[in-house]
């Protein structure tokens, strides 16, 4: 694997022409996606600033132009009218001030009477590589240009380490207060959330205190990308606890999950009603961001990075890495978050394939109605039906099991090859979205979702179902333009 020097990783992009050739080269990769947002070049990680404004969905991603490396981060902008087809708009936030000299890190966005504000972490480092995180604000005007405020809204808080980042802006309409919550780490190296407040979106911010989450005082050493959402009348704390192992998650140490509960802004306490659940049971999902669904402010749309920190992927060698998940509709049912594919995705269906042939077209959707209690399905198997990803349901243990050990290109095996999830009421239905290097499995109308990157070899393009099920397969049209816009 390529070794990057600090100079190479933190090089400033001066002219788009510097990466045009790289874009042309990676476009030829068999693993380029056709209906998922992916980096124009280099590395994509977290989705940022996801919202709907003036008839358009705006979305940004953490972007390092040079290759599959976490170096100097920009915000790259994409837009959609329907959450299904996306186009590249170009670089939005550049790390070009003293406050963000080593990266414009993750954050969120808010529409106000004054326009659209972007909140992000300015990752400042001095010449000795000591880090100071700043919470910064910028305005996105109607023709897509970003105007940064001259000074940050605030700097780091005493009593916490250098790990303070990922501002999530929340406007509490009923009291007309603005809050920012920040992911952090205290001096005892425990993950925490810090809460700031103001009467205005762009000034007057002060530190209100640390968020109390009873029972979660010792739950990972850093909480990244926290947010508090209101879904179906419930408060939901979504965050990424790091460096902790959890049941059924193999050796994975970084997670993205949620707790349903109630938020008391006066007492700064989030009281859980139930435990921490993973948002996604697959192998690759992190840093999810939620936007309010249009005209249904109580419902959310969730999108995540289909990737993980501290991991590597076969396209690293091609100098690109990462993509986003499909956006999902978010609701609460039985004290769980339910994620379902957006209705709009049906528009991508482009002719049905004959399931009897057992072939997976490059980009497709599979819908499966289970006709037995058990299920035994392999995706990406070879023409003899061997290998691939095995999806099974065992009525005795009442668990769905996703096992990727049969794939020929193994990735991040130190995090385990098997993921499971209990399904008390059996397995009835699956909707599976397959792109050129990913698979997203939606179970029982949103009970669980498994999102994973997969890099099939040429012969791994078949599927086999060894139990009785009714299966449909649709070809899917491309929906994400791979244009060179920087
Ligand atoms: C999560 C994260 C954030 C940070 C960003 C930097 O993946 O580490 O905490 O803001 O990525 O790209």
Q: Could you report the per-residue pLDDT of 390-425, keeping only the tens digit for each?
A: 999 999 999 999 999 999 999 999 999 999 999 999
Query: Is the predicted pLDDT of residue 189 greater than 90, yes or no?
Result: yes
Atom number of ligand 1 nearest to Cα 46: 7
Atom number of ligand 1 nearest to Cα 62: 12
The number of angstroms, rounded, from the C-alpha of 100 to the middle of its chain's C-alpha atoms is 23
Mutation pick for ligand 1 pocket among 10, 47, 60, 62 (CB with most ligand atoms within 8 Å): 62
CA of 445 to the centre of ligand 1 (A): 31
Task: Indicate the helix (H) or strand (E) that contains 464.
Answer: strand 462-465
pTM beyond 0.85, yes or no: yes
Task: Give dist(CA 19, CA 306) in Å, integer.
Answer: 23
Which pLDDT value is given to residue 334?
87
Which pLDDT value is given to residue 142?
82
Which pLDDT value is given to residue 294?
60
Residues 20-54 have pLDDT tens digits of 999 999 999 999 999 999 999 999 999 999 999 98
Atom number of ligand 1 nearest to Cα 107: 10
Long-range pairs of 314-318 with CB within 8 A, sequence gap ≥ 24: 314/31, 314/409, 314/411, 314/455, 315/26, 315/29, 315/31, 315/68, 315/437, 315/455, 316/1, 316/2, 316/67, 316/68, 317/1, 317/2, 317/68, 318/25, 318/26, 318/29, 318/31
Task: Give dist(CA 482, CA 394) in Å, integer.
Answer: 41
CA of 62 to the centre of ligand 1 (A): 8
> Are the beta carbons of 241 and 226 closer than 8 angstroms?
no
Long-range pairs of 94-100 with CB within 8 A, sequence gap ≥ 24: 94/13, 95/12, 95/122, 95/123, 96/12, 97/122, 97/148, 98/124, 99/124, 99/134, 99/136, 99/151, 99/152, 100/124, 100/134, 100/136
Residues 257-309 have pLDDT tens digits of 999 999 999 999 999 999 999 999 999 999 999 997 665 555 689 999 999 99
Which pLDDT value is given to residue 100?
98
CA of 392 to the centre of ligand 1 (A): 34
* 46 in active site: yes
Torsion-angle region of 426 (φ positive above 0: left; ψ -120 to 50: alpha; else: beta): left
Mutation pick for ligand 1 pocket among 108, 161, 165 (CB with most ligand atoms within 8 Å): 165
CA of 411 to the centre of ligand 1 (A): 21
Atom number of ligand 1 nearest to Cα 121: 10
Residues 422-447 have pLDDT tens digits of 999 999 999 999 999 999 999 998 99
Query: Whose Cα sits closest to atom 6 in ligand 1?
Result: 105
CA of 472 to the centre of ligand 1 (A): 38
Which pLDDT value is given to residue 2?
83
CA of 68 to the centre of ligand 1 (A): 15
Task: Give dist(CA 65, CA 441) in Å, integer.
Answer: 30
Query: Is the predicted pLDDT of residue 356 greater than 70, yes or no?
Result: yes
- Percent of the chain's residues with pLDDT above 70: 99
Query: Whose Cα sits closest to atom 9 in ligand 1?
Result: 224
DSSP string, 383-452: TTS-SEEEEEEETTTTEEEEEEEE-SS---GGG-SEEEEE-TT---EEEEEEETTEEEEEETTTTEEEEE
> Are the beta carbons of 289 and 348 closer than 8 angstroms?
no
Atom number of ligand 1 nearest to Cα 64: 12
Ligand 1 site: residues with CB under 6 angstroms? 45-46, 62, 73, 105-106, 121, 165-166, 224-225, 286-287, 309
Count other C-beta atoms under 10 Å from residue 294's C-beta: 12
Q: What's the mean pLDDT in 105-109?
A: 97
> Which one of the listed residues 46, 221, 280, 319 is annotated catalytic?
46
Mutation pick for ligand 1 pocket among 163, 166, 191 (CB with most ligand atoms within 8 Å): 166
Mutation pick for ligand 1 pocket among 225, 308, 309, 310 (CB with most ligand atoms within 8 Å): 225
CA of 362 to the centre of ligand 1 (A): 31
Q: Which of helix, strand or coil describes residue 221?
A: coil
* Residues sharing a CB contact under 8 Å with residue 237, sequence separation 6 or more, in sequence order: 193, 213, 226, 227, 228, 258, 259, 261, 263, 270, 272
DSSP3 helix / strand / coil % (the chain, rounded to 5): 5, 50, 45
What confidence tier does 61 reach under pLDDT thresholds 50, 70, 90? very high
């Amino acid at each position: 694997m390529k070794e990057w020097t600090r100079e190479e990783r933190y090089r400033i992009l001066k002219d788009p022409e510097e990466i045009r050739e790289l874009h042309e080269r990676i476009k030829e990769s068999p693993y380029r996606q056709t209906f998922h947002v992916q980096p124009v070049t280099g590395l994509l990680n977290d989705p940022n600033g996801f919202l709907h404004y003036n008839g358009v969905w705006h979305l940004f991603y953490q972007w390092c132009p040079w290759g599959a490396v976490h170096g100097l981060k920009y915000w790259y902008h994409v837009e959609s009218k329907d959450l299904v087809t996306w186009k590249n708009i170009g670089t939005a936030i550049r790390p070009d001030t003293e406050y963000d000299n080593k990266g414009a890190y993750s954050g969120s966005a808010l529409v106000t009477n004054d326009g659209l504000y972007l909140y992000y972490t300015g990752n400042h480092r001095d010449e000795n590589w000591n880090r100071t995180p700043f919470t910064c604000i910028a305005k996105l005007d109607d023709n897509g240009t970003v105007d940064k405020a001259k000074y940050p809204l605030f700097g780091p808080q005493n009593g916490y380490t250098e790990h303070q980042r990922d501002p999530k802006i929340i406007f509490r309409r009923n009291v007309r207060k603005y809050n920012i919550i920040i992911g952090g780490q205290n001096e005892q190296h425990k993950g925490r959330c810090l809460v700031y407040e103001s009467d205005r979106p762009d000034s007057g911010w002060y530190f209100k205190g640390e968020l109390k989450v009873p029972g979660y005082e010792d739950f990972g050493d850093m909480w990244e990308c926290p947010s508090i959402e209101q879904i179906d009348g419930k408060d939901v704390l979504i965050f990424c606890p790091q460096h902790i192992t959890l049941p059924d998650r193999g050796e994975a140490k970084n997670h993205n999950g949620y707790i349903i509960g109630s938020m008391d802004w006066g007492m700064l306490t989030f009281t859980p009603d139930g435990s921490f659940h993973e948002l996604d049971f697959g192998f690759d999902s992190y840093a999810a961001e939620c936007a309010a669904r249009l005209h249904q402010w109580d419902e959310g749309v969730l999108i995540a990075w289909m990737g993980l920190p501290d991991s590597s992927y076969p396209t690293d060698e091609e100098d690109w890495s990462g993509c986003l998940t499909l956006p999902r509709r978010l609701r609460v049912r039985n004290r769980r978050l339910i994620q379902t594919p957006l209705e709009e995705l049906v528009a991508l269906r482009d002719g049905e394939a004959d399931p009897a042939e057992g072939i997976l077209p490059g980009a497709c959707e599979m819908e499966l109605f289970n006709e037995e209690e058990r299920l035994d399905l392999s995706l990406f198997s070879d023409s003899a039906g061997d290998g691939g990803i095995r999806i099974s349901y065992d009525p005795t243990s009442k668990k769905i099991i996703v096992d990727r050990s049969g794939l020929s290109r193994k990735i991040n095996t130190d995090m385990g090859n098997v993921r499971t999830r209990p399904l008390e009421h059996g397995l009835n239905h699956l909707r599976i979205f397959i792109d050129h290097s990913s698979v997203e499995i939606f179970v029982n109308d949103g009970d669980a979702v498994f999102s994973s990157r997969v890099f099939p070899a040429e012969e791994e393009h078949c599927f086999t179902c060894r139990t009785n099920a009714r299966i449909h397969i649709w070809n899917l049209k491309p929906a994400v333009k791979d244009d060179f816009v920087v």
